Amino acid sequence: MLYVIGLGLADEKDISVNGLEAVRKSERVYLEAYTSILLVDVQKLQDFYGRAVTIADRDMVETESEEILSRASEVDVSFLVVGDPYGATTHTDLLLRARNAGVPTRVFHNASIMNAAGASGLQLYNFGQTISIPFFTETWKPSSFVERIAENMRIGAHTLLLLDIKVKEQSVENLARGRKIFEPPRYMSVSRAVEQLLTLLDEKAEGYSEDAYTRETLAVSLSRVGAEQQVIKAGTLRELAEVDEDAFGPPLHSLILVGKRLHDLEAEFGEAFAVGNGWKEGCKKLVQHV
Amino acid sequence: MLYVIGLGLADEKDISVNGLEAVRKSERVYLEAYTSILLVDVQKLQDFYGRAVTIADRDMVETESEEILSRASEVDVSFLVVGDPYGATTHTDLLLRARNAGVPTRVFHNASIMNAAGASGLQLYNFGQTISIPFFTETWKPSSFVERIAENMRIGAHTLLLLDIKVKEQSVENLARGRKIFEPPRYMSVSRAVEQLLTLLDEKAEGYSEDAYTRETLAVSLSRVGAEQQVIKAGTLRELAEVDEDAFGPPLHSLILVGKRLHDLEAEFGEAFAVGNGWKEGCKKLVQHV
């Protein structure tokens, strides 16, 4: 049996009891570690699970999945995923390959940023499509997602922005020379994300429109959701841009843009997270519009 | 400390290890049991947690929350929620009241239908706003949500439909006479939901438009997601309407309407759930449009 097990968001004990039982009876255990990260290291997982854990990088999951699926019809194999197993296309793809190979599978769900974003106090049913924001490079400032934000905003929905993660990336030079030397991992901070959003606005990037956002758009930042050291901040993009980057703390970060169909309860819940006057003033305008 | 703990979706062991540790050190434990249900009964929870569990109905949570919050600054109290703690407005409200009363809180996240809907193979980032479908009554066929579906469909997003749950409802007569006699709980089935959708279409209900859905719209049904007895079915609304109600099995059920921005992987994953030819044919049309 191939168990695909969500680990939740923060530490080794966010796994469900069902998931833990499956891990502990597995002959091999893999951890997918390139679409998200836990806030503890692998050693801690191994100690708690009492099992050796093999880190599975993108190559292993996407092109060498035979190893993971090997003999999984006869013995139990666990594939661990930060968040929920269906949080990334790559896991759905692995489940599909298992199915096509006749390997029985069982999925254990867990919290992911897609539902834990509710910690902002913004109600999940009011969210539209989720957006991923990639890092700008020296030569490329991707902006195609801005139109998706505008689509959500036009119907009054909130937008969850997932911030880029770069793990095991090679520099252009190392890639060209075929050297398997990897850059240190990079996790986009809220500060960086806001800066990129405002750059697209200032430069009137392709697809940018005021329907998507302005400096006065309300936003809620989430750092390390579900962990004891969770940090949530709320304010206008202008205000969040002025917050010291350190105040958001270590990764992972996400950002929510607030849609105009805001409810009183959502507005009130966010007050505890406000970094300035912008939250309360902005909410007042929105709630009047409903 | 008030712990608000997500139980996940299926049984007593879907709780996280962190959540279980919090329950086991709590002096009082409440279970919110009117916005959703687990697939096991309270006795099973009590046996596994080793704690007495008090069922909290809507009155207790919404108007008598003092009991739940009582002495929660001095002792540990657990409030258990099916799914994730932020899945329903009522829990956010309880957290807000705890905050206002100066009671420290800690939330333990878990899977909820909002992210476990990924079990359909439809990617969560492609979902728009989530809709709740209420039961028709003898005198009222609510249809205001249809415009919300249309909003999602126009941007190509999928729509998760949460199906009505009626717990501890009183008949009109009992309500009028002030008799605390409650009707048996009712959980809307996929069959009932599809029937109601098609009735609104046939009667051209207020707000209905073809932008929202037709008989040929693709849909995926979810029954008891996350449980071993999980059932998923895919097809057009016309096809799902013809499936025997028993085939969907016991509650809880949800339904997803498929948006036109469908990816190949999503289409392929759904094939295993198809009840007829409609899925494959419908997907072919959609994927060509992308």
Mean of all residue pLDDT scores within chain B: 94
> Domain holding A159: CATH number?
3.30.950.10
Tokens standing for residue B203: 């009667």
Q: Is residue A110 within 8 Å of A63, Cβ to Cβ?
A: no
Answer whether B126 sits within 8 Å of A129, measured CB to CB.
Answer: yes
Pick from B89, B106, B128: CB nearest A128: B128
Cα-based torsion angle of the residue sequence A215, A217, A218, A221 in order, rounded to the nearest 10 degrees: -60
Whether residues A131 and A249 share a domain: the answer is yes
Q: Is residue A255 within 8 Å of A222, Cβ to Cβ?
A: yes
pLDDT digits (tens, 9 = 90+) for B192-210: 999 999 999 999 999 899 9
> Domain holding A11: CATH number?
3.40.1010.10
pLDDT value of residue A63: 81
Q: Is residue B157 within 8 Å of A185, Cβ to Cβ?
A: no
Whether residues A107 and A175 share a domain: the answer is no
Cis amide bond preceding A95, omega within 30: no
Place of tokens 């998507």: A212
d(C-alpha A168, C-alpha A177), whole Å: 16
- One-letter amino acid for residue A141 of the chain: K
Whether residues B128 and B249 share a domain: the answer is yes
Beta strands in chain B, from DSSP E residues, in sequence order:
2-6, 28-32, 54-56, 77-81, 105-108, 131-133, 159-163, 165-166, 186-187, 218-223, 231-236, 253-257
Measure the N-to-C terminal CA separation of chain B; round to a whole number of Å.
51
Answer whether B116 sits within 8 Å of A11, measured CB to CB.
Answer: no
d(C-alpha B252, C-alpha A127), whole Å: 23
What is the chain B residue with the closest CA to A159?
B128
Tokens standing for residue A100: 């096509």
Question: In angstroms, what separates the C-alpha of B123 from chain A's closest C-alpha?
Answer: 7
pLDDT digits (tens, 9 = 90+) for B116-147: 999 999 999 999 999 999 999 999 999 999 99
Overall domain count for chain A: 2
Q: What ipTM was assigned to the predicted interfaces of this complex?
A: 0.94
* CB atoms inside a 10 Å sphere around CB A52: 9
d(C-alpha A173, C-alpha A133), whole Å: 25
What is the chain B residue with the closest CA to A229?
B106
* Residue B244, SS3 per DSSP: coil
Whether residues A227 and A238 share a domain: the answer is yes
Q: Which domain holds residue A227?
A: 114-289
A79-113 in b/e form (b: 16+ CB < 10 A) is bbbbbbbbbbebbbbbbbbbbeeebebebbbbbbb
pLDDT value of residue B288: 67
The one-digit pLDDT tens for each residue of chain A (290 residues) are 999 999 999 999 999 999 999 999 999 999 998 888 888 889 999 999 999 999 998 888 888 888 999 999 999 999 999 999 998 888 999 999 999 999 999 999 999 999 999 999 999 999 999 999 999 999 999 999 999 999 999 999 999 999 999 988 888 888 889 888 888 899 999 999 999 999 999 999 998 999 999 999 999 999 999 999 999 999 999 999 999 999 999 999 999 999 999 999 999 999 999 999 999 999 999 886 65
Whether residues A158 and A76 share a domain: the answer is no
Whether residues B68 and B169 share a domain: the answer is no
Whether residues B148 and B256 share a domain: the answer is yes
Among the candidates B62, B93, B111, a domain finishes at B111
Whether residues B204 and B68 share a domain: the answer is no
Place of tokens 């494959």: B280
Measure the N-to-C terminal CA separation of chain A; round to a whole number of Å.
51
Answer whether A13 sits within 8 Å of B17, measured CB to CB.
Answer: yes
Interface residue B269 vs chain A (CB under 8 A): yes
Whether residues A176 and A104 share a domain: the answer is no
pLDDT digits (tens, 9 = 90+) for B26-72: 999 999 988 888 888 899 999 999 999 999 988 888 888 889 999 99
Secondary structure (DSSP) of A151-171? HHHHTT-BEEEEEPEE-SPPP
Whether residues B125 and B55 share a domain: the answer is no
Which residue in A7, A14, A35, A125 has the most chain B C-beta atoms within 10 A of its own C-beta, making it the best mutation to test that interface? A125
Whether residues A65 and A175 share a domain: the answer is no
Among the candidates A64, A87, A111, a domain finishes at A111
Answer whether A96 sits within 8 Å of B228, measured CB to CB.
Answer: no
pLDDT at B289 over 80: no
pLDDT at B88 over 90: no
Whether residues A209 and A259 share a domain: the answer is yes
pLDDT value of residue B38: 85
Residues 132-161 of chain A whose Cβ lies under 8 A from any Cβ of chain B: 132, 151-152, 155, 157
> What mean pLDDT comes out for the span B68-95?
94
pLDDT digits (tens, 9 = 90+) for A135-173: 999 999 999 999 999 999 999 999 999 999 998 888 888
> What mean pLDDT comes out for the span B263-290?
92
pLDDT at B77 over 90: yes
Among the candidates B111, B134, B153, a domain finishes at B111
- Name the burial class of residue A157, with classes exposed (0-12), middle (13-18) and buried (19+) by CB atoms within 10 angstroms of its CB: buried
